[in-house]
A and B are shown apart, each in its own frame.
Chain A
Amino acid sequence: QSVLTQPPSVSGAPGQRVTISCTGSSSNIGAGYDVHWYQQLPGTAPKLLIYGNSNRPSGVPDRFSGSKSGTSASLAITGLQAEDEADYYCQSYDSSLSALGVFGGGTKLTVL
């Protein structure tokens, strides 16, 4: 049972928009800690996709965007492409764990 809750799976057709939610609580996201998102392509190491709730590292397409409100955060992907099929994880920090990091359970994105 992860501290941050994500849907196990989402899907969309090429060109569509999908969103992935990350629900926390008052001890993590709601406490003001930033949310970060990682993309893990099959058989590879995770890669930073969004940092500080809504910032994209250099090289990440602007089809990917992040937002945060209250105790939740969301990752949106527009113009879905086949190569976006991957697992996506949110990550934040939790004051009940001495401000150590926590991950969401992960969401498998399937491009139909």
Chain B
Amino acid sequence: DAKTTQPPSMDCAEGRAANLPCNHSTISGNEYVYWYRQIHSQGPQYIIHGLKNNETNEMASLIITEDRKSSTLILPHATLRDTAVYYCIAPNQAGTALIFGKGTTLSVSS
């Protein structure tokens, strides 16, 4: 199963862009990369996912390197409510489970 690695924590000033990196060097060519976040102990919330091309939605942008070994989640204008644990995830090989790591704790301050 693909393994992802993320920095344990990051800080960001309110209103600035938050760039969260993720390494997934063992991901295979047809495995998607998903990003979720978890605020306190609430249920994880889907943010975005991608395969090869960069993706953007109303919440964030996802930049995937051409070799697919890493990606960056961009929150363009972070707010205090974006303080959360962010998970970069790949499904297991069978596509039956999300493999959660420890994630990155993002702290947004004013």
Q: Do A and B bind each other?
A: no
